[in-house]
Chain A
Amino acid sequence: MSMDKMPTPSTLPFPQGDDRPDQQYHMRIARDGTWFYHGSPIGRIALVKLFSTVLRRDDAGDYWLVTPAEQGRIEVDDVPFVAVEVKAEGAGQDRSLSFRTNLDEWVTAGPDHPIRVVGDPELSGAPAPYILIRDRLEARIGRAVFYELVELAEERQTPQGTELGVWSGQTFFPLGQLPETDATA
């Protein structure tokens, strides 16, 4: 067991289906991935990592901390994690893209860890990309990482036009549509 090992996410079932009272913990995960407790940022990453192992999301999309003894809701401004690094291996359809979250969890994009891109209403429809980390818990793909993805992206023709996307885990993940240009640039 290494000292640097990422804590293993617990396998506690959720929801518990028991009569434990629900409560609201004074905890919030901000859009940039910072955890707050009673309004103050939790500075110790080791503590945040530990809480992240008991983080759950229910069918309604609410976020919970579920411990062996109790459970309570926490606030999440956007999604709980941020992808802060990407590593690419291979090329073309055999490419594999691995993402590291702000809590040092690694996942490789593919059918189990899909990438989705939506228009961010807060940024006037600019692309907001996400990757699924586990159990309905997503990481927002940070801007710098997203630019790296765009660099790695390939074009694909679809009935709607030219699509830009990346391959990983034998899956093509669209990042966006290229505008119909006639070389006016």
Chain B
Amino acid sequence: MERADILSIGAAAGDGRDGVTPLPQAVTKADIRRVFQDRLPGPDRGGGRDRGDHELNPGMLPMGELRAAAVLVPLVDRPQGLSIQLTQRTAHLKSHAGQIAFPGGRIDDGDADEVAAALREAEEEIGLDRTHVEPLAYLDLYMTTLGYRIVPVIARVKPGFVLSLNASEVDATFEVPLAYLMDQNNVQRHSRDWQGMTRHYYAFTFGERYIWGVTAGILRNLYDRVCR
């Protein structure tokens, strides 16, 4: 993991938190249903605003055409509560090597829509069988500094699935309790110098895992929609 490098380059501003109140209770399926009752609206998928890396770094707004991508935000319906299935990308990839990510990727010409792309990518990357996946809603789209326009697809995942990792893309998968990721005491803000500018981003530490950047930003948007 590149975590040590990242942390040493830029120190967190202040205590790295925005002073939001911690979530009082665990997030339940009912919360998700209540918030996303407008199930999979279209066609803008945006939820009214374009979120992304530019929220902390307005000067890093991507220019020109954005590449369309979709990710699956898999809420695994465990008896002890919802958890989020994440992947750790293979260390030798050209981009985002070793980073924690949602299953997902570019929308191909053959994909009917964002849901189709997210389901396909989850099958290709970690072998998540779509019969276990119930898409619930789109989260606000997320624009990245590198020029991706990511539509997160929130889905309930029925337990009992067996994963099979595509070793060329994914090194490992793991689950994090949704309540942990929705607890604002666990969100930090870090920074590093990148292409001559200071780039700020959100980050979570979960055991030995370091979740940051786009994935942490999307998790924060989920918090904004569900918990605020």
> Interface on A for B, CB 8 Å cutoff?
1, 3-7, 20, 23, 25-27, 37-38, 40, 44, 46-47, 49-51, 54, 65, 67-70, 72
Contact = CB atoms under 8 A, between A and B. Distances in A.
A26 B57 CA distance: 12
Interface residues of B, number: 26
Nearest to A50: B49
Contact of B63 (A7, A37, A65): A37
Contacts, number: 65
In order of increasing CB-CB distance, the 8 nearest A-B pairs are A69-B200, A47-B50, A69-B56, A50-B49, A46-B50, A46-B49, A65-B58, A46-B46
B48 A26 contact: no
Interface of B: 13, 18, 35, 38, 41, 44, 46-51, 54-59, 61, 63, 143, 189, 191, 198, 200, 225
A118 to B, nearest CB: 30
Nearest to A67: B56
A33 B152 CA distance: 30
A38 B63 CA distance: 8
B189 A69 contact: yes
Nearest to A38: B63
B200 A70 contact: yes
A49 B48 contact: yes
Contacts of B55: 50, 54, 67
